[in-house]
Structure 1
Amino acid sequence: MEGGGAAPAVRGDARQLPAQGGDGAEGEASPEEPAGTGGGGAPRGGSGRAEAGAPPKPSATSTDRQRSTEVSALDSFPLRHSNTLTNRQRGNEVSALPATLDTLSIHQLAAQGELSQLKEHLRKGENLVNKPDERGFTPLIWAAAFGEIETVRHLLEWGADPNALAKERESALSLASMGGYTDIVIMLLERNVDINIYDWNGGTPLLYAVRGNHVKCVEALLARGADLTTEADSGYTPMDLAVALGHKKVQQVIENHILKLFQNKELE
């Protein structure tokens, strides 16, 4: 969102994140598979390096107990689907050739909505459900970015942290708002995530929803208390951005919301 009415964007969003369709529409969840590609376009596994100040590695007994608990948690949540089309429901039982499916990282499986394989993958290690990749993206952030609503639902049930932030403060809520995935936005807000969370250039979920002309998503965020006065680093407020981009329906939604706020204040 630099000068001339440009909008806030997660760095490299056009190449690395889902295409922005209409509200609730799902982007194609097919990040590139090779790890280590330049520019970070594909979900990639974490580096495997221990974090500074990490606690000592648990004993074999405590590790077995933890894994047993995690497996029990996975078993308690059968896979089920809503009316929202996921990758599997669109007829893509698998999004990769069977010969290569087992080589995909947990982040790629989450982005592609491969629920069965994702569930099996989570059994293999310690706390993989919140494992960040090289950019700090967790499986939940990838699933939210690609509009995989059932994957988001199950990851949350399996203990994924909805407040996790990537290295440049990207969040599941901001990326879901960018894609216009209103159902995912509402699901995350029900987990009490920060509705006004900002990223490296000051972009908030509301600013990203406005930028993408996602009317329903803007309505949902405003109804739940998103701040209309927050500015991105370029100085744009949500209304400024809607005007600059010519998003008239979004402008109307914001104007109606402001009018309602004034009416409620007069009644106090």
Structure 2
Amino acid sequence: MTEVLQAVNCSDSIIDEYSRGRSRWLAHRTAGIAPATTFRQQPTFQQGSFIIIFFRKAARAGNLDRVLELLRSGTDINTSNANGLNALHLASKEGHHEVVRELLKRKADVDAATKKGNTALHIASLAGQELIVTILVENGANVNVQSLNGFTPLYMAAQENHESVVRYLLAHNANQALSTEDGFTPLAVALQQGHDRVVALLLENDTRGKVRLPALHIAAKKDDTKAATLLLQNEHNSDVTSKSGFTPLHIAAHYGNENVAQLLLEKGANVNYQARHNIRHVLLTETVLK
């Protein structure tokens, strides 16, 4: 049995628990004493736990027959491990569409979240599993669900440069104005990572012009005049501020990025703009304006 546990990647603590229980049973048997509780009955680690492990492992491997067999035996379809990962999460990550469809058909919770607040749609979007993303959304997955840190499926797809997933999510009402707890939007992270096609796609779908704030700050930090020019095409206010109260010109000045600073000034950025804590564009007097 220990070999079986190792084969399914059980942790050392699980294997040790089994070994201790088995040893106690053998000690009683050798002494001729009938144990009050056999290993099968011990409350600390029941055999049903192994079935749950096999179930999640089968889902991750895409073994549909085994998944269905275990479900017919009464396995809880939404059972999860200590991190909150369940069969739907694991099958979604690996792109096993048949398993995902069957789990959803049998009423798996499409929006069940891990301990960090990630749903199957987060996980599939991060992995670039476009077909799985489609199946999940068709089955009612919340496209704008945010994890504990504020990540959305769209953010994760943009971060990993999964253009087709980004396109699909945008077409199904993903809100790209939603930001992480640090104030980053999908556009901001795509720009930071240099994912030009995703950046262009997000800009094309930015009908309200509200997602450009953090992206323009990142362009200023990188001295990226090409990106900044794109961002400023329909943005009349070059002094938009971050959550901390800084403008793109503050950022450009801080990093000594003269090219973007000059562009921002041409677009009307206020050199005397005071951010919070009375911070001004100090470096500009020594660079662009000298």
Q: Equivalent of 2:186, from 238, 252, 262?
A: 238
RMSD: 2.3
Q: Equivalent of 1:135, from 73, 76, 83?
A: 83
Whether contact under 8 Å (2:59, 2:90) holds in the other structure is: yes
Deviations 1:225-256 (A, max 9, x none): 11111111222111111110000010111122
Amino acid of the structure 2 residue aligned with 1:244: Q
Structure 1 position 193 matched with structure 2 position 141 = yes
CA–CA distance in structure 1, aligned partners of residues 118 and 11 of structure 2: 20
Q: How does 1:31-110 map to 2 (within 5 A)?
A: 33-36=8-11, 105-110=54-59
Deviations 1:157-203 (A, max 9, x none): 12211011122211100000000111111111112221111112211
Amino acid of the structure 2 residue aligned with 1:141: H
Whether contact under 8 Å (2:143, 2:173) holds in the other structure is: yes
Indicate the residue corresponding to 1:256 in structure 2. 204
CA–CA distance in structure 2, aligned partners of residues 258 and 104 of structure 1: 44
Q: How does 1:216-231 map to 2 (within 5 A)?
A: 216-231=164-179
Whether contact under 8 Å (2:151, 2:180) holds in the other structure is: yes
Amino acid of the structure 2 residue aligned with 1:110: A
Q: Equivalent of 1:124, from 73, 77, 90?
A: 73
- Alpha-carbon shift at residue 125 of structure 1 (Å): 2.1
Amino acid of the structure 2 residue aligned with 1:114: N
Whether contact under 8 Å (2:52, 2:79) holds in the other structure is: no
Q: Percent identity?
A: 31
- Alpha-carbon shift at residue 37 of structure 1 (Å): 6.0
Indicate the residue corresponding to 1:81 in structure 2. none
- Alpha-carbon shift at residue 139 of structure 1 (Å): 0.7
Indicate the residue corresponding to 2:107 in structure 1. 159
- Alpha-carbon shift at residue 103 of structure 1 (Å): 9.6
CA–CA distance in structure 2, aligned partners of residues 103 and 172 of structure 1: 19
CA–CA distance in structure 1, aligned partners of residues 199 and 9 of structure 2: 41
- Alpha-carbon shift at residue 121 of structure 1 (Å): 1.2
CA–CA distance in structure 1, aligned partners of residues 118 and 12 of structure 2: 20
> Highest CA radius of gyration, 1 or 2?
2
Q: Which has the higher helix share?
A: 2
Indicate the residue corresponding to 1:173 in structure 2. 121
CA–CA distance in structure 1, aligned partners of residues 144 and 186 of structure 2: 12
1:215–1:34: structure 2 CA closer, same or farther, 3 Å change rule? same
CA–CA distance in structure 1, aligned partners of residues 175 and 52 of structure 2: 42
Indicate the residue corresponding to 1:53 in structure 2. none
1:233–1:227: structure 2 CA closer, same or farther, 3 Å change rule? same
CA–CA distance in structure 2, aligned partners of residues 103 and 196 of structure 1: 30
Indicate the residue corresponding to 1:79 in structure 2. none
CA–CA distance in structure 1, aligned partners of residues 137 and 171 of structure 2: 11
Q: Give unpaired runs (5+ residues) of structure 2.
A: 1-6, 14-50, 210-290
Secondary structure at 1:230 match in 2: coil
Whether contact under 8 Å (2:97, 2:132) holds in the other structure is: yes
CA–CA distance in structure 2, aligned partners of residues 103 and 224 of structure 1: 34
CA–CA distance in structure 2, aligned partners of residues 190 and 171 of structure 1: 15
Amino acid of the structure 2 residue aligned with 1:174: H
Amino acid of the structure 2 residue aligned with 1:36: S
1:239–1:123: structure 2 CA closer, same or farther, 3 Å change rule? same
CA–CA distance in structure 1, aligned partners of residues 100 and 12 of structure 2: 26
Equivalenced residue count is 167
Q: Equivalent of 2:195, from 240, 247, 259?
A: 247
CA–CA distance in structure 2, aligned partners of residues 143 and 218 of structure 1: 20
